[in-house]
């Protein structure tokens, strides 16, 4: 019998702090916002038995709510789901990074060919995320919420649709808002099939059967 598994990719809430490229910099989402996201997920139509989270606290602190809940949800931290590392510009407010503007403009225009100083190469980021994603697809047996980052979700979607992960429009045009859900179904039958059901949808409209 075919088995259908729902995977909900949740981008974390809006972080505190000045506008910047927040990759591995461990910025937080304020506690009230994390509580609100948790309550909205509980009240939504999503049904899942497992939570996988990036280790960065803007994700992991939300995962802790599920770990402490009475719903017996399994929670795991996957370091490979971290956002891209932006090197010397990681976490630096844009107002304080004016000397880097030429390099930033080159990066935004062609991110695969213009790695920021000291940063993770885009190809390495894509490989890191897709390798972790394929491990999840192979092993997953339960409906799962994955709490992660905008860049992480874009790399997963690029591998699924497929899209060109080197194309700057993947980052400038494809909107993945804070605290939105991208819903993927995995069908395990004679082979493993993957279906994108929604991208960047509000939590309230995500598909499922209730938590």
CATH 1.10.260.40 fits 3-205, yes or no: no
Q: What is the rounded CA–CA span in Å between residue 183 and residue 8? A: 5
Q: Which residues of 53-83 are buried (b: 16+ CB within 10 A; e: fewer)?
A: bbebbbbbbbbebbeeeeeebebebbeebbb
Return the domain boundaries, the chain: 3-205
Percent of the chain at pLDDT above 70? Answer: 97
Distance of alpha carbon 46 from alpha carbon 147, whole angstroms: 14
Estimate the crossing angle of helix 57-67 against helix 31-43, to 10 degrees: 50
This prediction has a pTM of: 0.95
* Tens-digit pLDDT profile for residues 5-48: 999 999 999 999 999 999 999 999 999 999 999 999 999 999 99
From CA 100, how far away is CA 88, in angstroms rounded? 10
Q: Would you place residue 211 in the very low, low, confident or very high pLDDT band (cuts 50, 70, 90)? A: very low
Question: How far is Cα 211 from Cα 200, in angstroms, rounded to an integer?
Answer: 20
Closest CA to 90 of 70, 113, 118: 118
In tens, the pLDDT along 110-147 reads 999 999 999 999 999 999 999 999 999 999 999 999 99
């Amino acid at each position: 019998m075919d088995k259908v598994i729902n995977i909900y990719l949740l981008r974390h809430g809006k972080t505190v702090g000045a506008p910047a490229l927040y990759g591995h910099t461990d910025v937080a989402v304020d506690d009230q916002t994390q509580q609100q996201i948790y309550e909205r997920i509980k009240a939504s139509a999503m049904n899942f038995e497992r939570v996988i989270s990036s280790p960065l606290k803007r994700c992991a602190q939300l995962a802790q709510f599920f770990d402490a809940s009475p719903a017996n949800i399994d929670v795991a931290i996957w370091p490979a789901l971290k956002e891209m590392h932006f090197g010397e510009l990681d976490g630096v407010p844009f107002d304080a990074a004016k000397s880097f503007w030429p390099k930033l403009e080159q990066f935004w225009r062609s991110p695969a060919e213009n790695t920021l100083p000291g940063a993770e190469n885009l190809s390495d980021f894509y490989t890191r995320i897709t390798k972790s994603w394929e491990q999840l697809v192979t092993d997953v047996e339960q409906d799962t919420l994955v709490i992660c980052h905008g860049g992480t979700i874009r790399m997963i979607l690029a591998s699924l649709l497929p899209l060109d992960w080197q194309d700057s429009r993947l980052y400038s045009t494809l909107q993945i808002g804070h605290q939105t859900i991208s819903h993927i179904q995995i069908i395990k039958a004679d082979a493993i099939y993957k279906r994108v059901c929604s991208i960047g949808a509000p939590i309230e409209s995500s598909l499922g059967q209730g938590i």
